[in-house]
Amino acid sequence: MPSRRHRASRVLFPPLEGARPVRRRQRLLPCLAGVCLLSGSAALASSPEAWNRYDRQVRTACVAASGLADVRVRGARIDLPALGLSSLLLEGRYPQPHMNGRPGLELCVFEQRSGRAVVAEADSLRQALAAETQAPAGSRPAPQGGSPLKPPAPAGSPASPMAPR
């Protein structure tokens, strides 16, 4: 004798004449495939409102986590989707009395899952940017290890710093 569940499914889905019996999995598979296709395309594209909301969330969390006074965001947000992180550069003034209101730069990293922002001092970036903008384009010093046109000596050769002694 068939169970109640089987009787109910026969009432809701009567078998077609001459058709072989269809298993439940075979009925659900096309439905699941359709749902996955429809939901997948919607998940790939975010609306501009969603991006604006996320940008406000990152900015608010980063400014709140910052220890600087008169904080403002400098530049655009950088996203690292593979890691679930976003970063911002913050600029302001140090509020401590011994710092005498010196300008400061902080790097903020925002974790998407938890909504938590972590801030680190980034004054060295300010110095690097200042040095780069002051030097004319053609007079930049060559990177360590030789000129930019000449590749470094292969390892093991006498001119190489990796040569055995």
Residues 149-161: tens digit of each pLDDT: 445 555 555 554 5
pTM: 0.54
In a domain, 40, yes or no: no
| 30 belongs to a structural domain | no
Q: What is the pLDDT of residues 67-87, one digit of tens each?
A: 999 999 999 999 999 999 999
The number of domains in the chain is 1
Neighbours of 112 (CB within 10 A): 16
Q: 43 in a domain, yes or no? A: no
Q: Over the stretch 90-105, which tens digit does the pLDDT of each residue have?
A: 999 999 999 898 999 9
Are 108 and 87 within 8 A, CB to CB? yes
Instruction: Identify whether 141 is part of a domain.
Output: no
Q: Which domain holds residue 112?
A: 48-133
Query: Within a domain: residue 8?
Result: no
DSSP state of 96: S
Choice between 104 and 15, residue whose per-residue pLDDT is larger: 104
